[in-house]
Structure 1
Amino acid sequence: MSSMKGIKFGDFDMQANGVTVTDTDVLSPPQNKIQADELAERDGALVVKQQYASKPFTVYGYLRASSATALDTLLDTFKAAMSVRNQPFDIEHAGSVRRYLASQQNIIISQSGPSVAGFSVQFLCPDGMGWDTEASALISSTNISQSAATIPFVVGGSYKADPYIKITVNTVSGGSNKTVSIGNASTLRTVSITRTWSNGDVVEMDRQKGELLVNGIPHDYRGALLSFDAGAAGITWNDEFTARDVTILANYTRRWL
């Protein structure tokens, strides 16, 4: 890789002040661990589970200073910066920045001269994924006035979206002890909430945080908080109201294998 590609670990710039990265395998995808069960009295197997593993990756480069003493100081600074746990590892990619949460597992230093030393640093990325550094809109603010609706969208990145979804009940009639169901149009999995609904109620679902709030307070629900595979997708709405005016929006952070 080009030594000019920007790389930071936390606040430490790995392409400045005598530090140069020459190579890394951070953009390799994590291992896809597949569980397959053999078919009864037939050849082959059936995939029953897929799960991405945590991902180790390595960064290679060199440290260069103006003197042997300056190199000693740079080495100490470098090792201290690499020892901080759970830091963002940011690398320039596709005109933006790809972010990996990482902790250093091992450092190897090989001094090749009085003021030059090579290094390799092995990191562990717990979730194995690269993230955008900013959230993106999944669903722009959209109005729902029917009891059943489907809103299509496209999930960017190459890994599933675990979105934040906000639903505002602007006006409702016939909302006493009624159920609202919000679902994944592809998998048909839904989240169902039963309560007495009023004008101005706000539902917030956050798959990343694992919470569902109604008017800022945790609320019981049936089903599982929604996630969506990369590519074309959609969210479904179903309610038991007599009439409604509802606004829904969602955002997410794109993730990359």
Structure 2
Amino acid sequence: MKVAARALSIALILLSLLMGMLLLTVIYSARRIRIETPTVKSELTDTGTRLIMEVPIYNEGFHDITDVELRTDIVVELTGDVIATSTSYLPMVAKGGEGRLVHVVEFDLTEIARNERALRALMLNNTNLIVVASLSLVYAYMFEISLEANASSPWGAPMSGLVMALEPPGPGEDEITAVLSFANNASFGYNFKLEALNELGYSLGNSSLIYVDPGASFEEEAITIPINTALWTGSGSIRVHFFIGRACLALEVMTY
């Protein structure tokens, strides 16, 4: 028994030494992985923007890299809402080889519009968009490595600092007047119109379409909305319809 125990002890010590040497080799080898700055291309879509990133990965180590996965989340800093999530996968980068991980991020305004809180934050408030990137891979078929990083980019609101006042129709009049002040801090121009609704949700009428240049500002701009006086009740709401590319977004901006 003593001989067997001694032999087992020696075997365990040798196994520990071998595992230690393997771990040191893997650590040294893993340090020879190079992930370079991605190239980024942007494309305009009908309802937003598409970013195409190509991430070069150079494996100069002694073991294969497998299961490379990149996930990105775009977060509205003001509200904490995730408005876009993308995941890409690369099965393997062989030892001594290189791989290209292609990652596509879709920034779709019609999808964002499903989240009214996020849409309100983006249309009416300057904020930051935070990109959270998580990269994971398996090295030497047994060691999982993960990295996380984030970066932020300023977002300028199309109707930043919106202030609106409403002048109801006088006797015999069939229109209301909205007086607006705001700045377009976005990098793009857009069209918008105002819609008046009564408290039952029935549409009273719409203003004409108005174009706003990038960087333009409105100071107490009066916009008339012709209305169906038969539906006028004296209370309701005003909705803005944004037309950005082919995206049509609607947002309630005031009640009266």
Please indicate, yes or no, whether the TM-score normalized by the shorter chain is above 0.5. no
Structure of higher CA gyration radius = 2
Instruction: Name the TM-score class by shorter chain.
Output: 0.3 to 0.5
Q: Greater share of helix residues, 1 or 2? A: 2
Greater relative contact order (Cα < 8 A, sep 6+): 1
